[in-house]
């Protein structure tokens, strides 16, 4: 177990206990004893069942479905730790919900990502540790330090060792920067799916920029929600002559018709990180999950020991 002036304490809410337990195991410790329950009217109750006075606290909680319940759990756990005189409180949020509401797309729209940042800070968080924010500028919404880890290197290691990609395909223009980095590392060309979105969660493919005919294609995105973008994109490059199609993402939201779409799609394999737990009923044969526990454990250790984080981004 790593040691420092103040003892480390890891707690977890209900959103992603499996990942939290893996992180604790990597650090040679166990999750702290916390009682999180819900009253009959839906209110959430939290009780930290062990002392945290003066400790370095890391509260692990993805704000995935049910988003509002998991967010409230996290806020209440932070408040409980603050009132129990914890030394430093780091909110470890593998998946940061509400990140897509990062700007005013229309007049009179809220900027909910900023609101969530304010809530976390007001609750008492001293630092946030997360992964692959949907928009990098969300880090600037906080008045406390934010470490935004990258899942790309984990996915790169997976595909580089298997050498199964002839071309990296960006599912939309917004993902080009991420896909270009992966293509450069894999030393393969980049293709882009040019699309338009008539309304939320509805995507229409326009054309494909680049050569995918006769190629094994790898599509990458930061998150897959209803899977419309990734599946329609996969069908488009299949129609353009792609022989095999692999897809990967950091955050598998997989809401609504996502699983049905993925099952029927021409995607050969979907590789995703475990920032969001996948229920057994959603697990398909073509889905493979890679753990982020090593990276989060290293980041937590660096924060705890006040060591530089830069090496984790290399």
Q: What is the mean pLDDT of the chain?
A: 93
Q: Which DSSP string corresponds to 151-204?
A: SHHHHHHHHHHHT--SEEEESSGGGHHHHHHHHHHHT--EEEEEEEEEETTEEE
Q: Do domains 8-150+293-313 and 152-290 have the same CATH topology?
A: yes
With beta carbons less than 8 A apart as the criterion, state whether 235 and 227 touch. no
Could you state, in order of their start, the residue ranges of all structural domains in the chain?
8-150+293-313, 152-290
Q: Given its phi and psi angles, is residue 254 left (phi above 0), alpha (psi -120 to 50 degrees) or beta?
A: left
> Quick check: 309 and 299 in contact, CB under 8 A?
yes
Instruction: For residues 7 and 86, give the distance between their C-alpha atoms in angstroms, rounded to a whole number.
Output: 11
DSSP, collapsed to helix, strand or coil, labels residue 18 as helix
Residues 94, 10: Cα–Cα separation, whole Å: 14
pLDDT tens digits, one per residue of 2-54 = 555 568 999 999 999 999 999 999 999 999 999 999 999 999 999 999 999 99
Considering the domain 8-150+293-313 in this protein, what is its CATH number? 3.40.50.2020
Q: Which CATH number fits domain 152-290: 1.10.10.10, 1.10.579.10, 3.40.50.1370, 3.40.50.2020?
A: 3.40.50.2020
Taking the C-alpha atoms of 200, 202, 207 and 213 in order, what is their torsion angle to the nearest 10 degrees? 120
Average pLDDT over residues 108-133: 97
Q: Report the catalytic residues.
A: 195
**pLDDT digit string, tens, across residues 271-307:** 999 999 999 999 999 999 999 999 999 999 999 999 9
Q: Give residue-wise pLDDT tens across range 45-65.
A: 999 999 999 999 999 999 999
């Amino acid at each position: 177990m790593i040691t420092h002036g103040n003892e480390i304490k890891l707690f977890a809410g209900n959103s992603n206990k499996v990942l939290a337990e893996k992180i604790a195991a990597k650090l040679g410790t166990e999750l702290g004893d916390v009682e999180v329950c819900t009253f009959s009217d839906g209110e959430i109750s939290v009780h930290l069942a062990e002392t945290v006075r003066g400790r370095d606290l890391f509260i692990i909680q993805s704000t995935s479905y049910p988003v509002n319940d998991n967010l409230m759990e996290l806020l209440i756990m932070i408040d409980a730790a603050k009132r129990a005189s914890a030394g430093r409180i780091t909110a470890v949020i593998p998946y940061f919900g509400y990140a897509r509401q990062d700007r005013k797309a229309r007049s009179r729209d809220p900027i909910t990502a900023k609101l969530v940042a304010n809530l976390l800070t007001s609750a008492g968080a001293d630092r946030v540790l997360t992964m692959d924010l949907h928009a990098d500028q969300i880090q600037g919404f906080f008045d406390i330090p934010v470490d935004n880890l990258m899942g790309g290197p984990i996915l790169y290691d997976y595909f580089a060792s298997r050498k199964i990609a002839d071309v990296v395909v960006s599912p939309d223009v917004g993902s080009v920067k991420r896909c270009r980095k992966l293509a450069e590392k894999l030393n393969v060309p980049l293709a882009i799916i040019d699309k338009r979105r008539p309304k939320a969660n509805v995507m229409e493919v326009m054309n494909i920029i680049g050569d995918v005919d006769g190629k094994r294609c790898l599509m990458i995105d930061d998150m897959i929600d209803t899977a419309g973008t990734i599946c329609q994109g996969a069908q488009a490059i299949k129609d353009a002559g792609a022989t095999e199609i692999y897809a990967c993402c950091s955050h598998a939201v997989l809401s609504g018709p996502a699983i049905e779409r993925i099952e029927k799609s021409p995607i050969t394999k979907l590789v995703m990180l475990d920032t969001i737990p996948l229920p057994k009923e959603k697990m398909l044969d073509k889905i493979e999950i890679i753990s982020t526990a090593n990276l989060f454990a290293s980041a937590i250790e660096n924060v705890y020991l006040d060591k530089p984080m830069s090496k984790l981004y290399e």
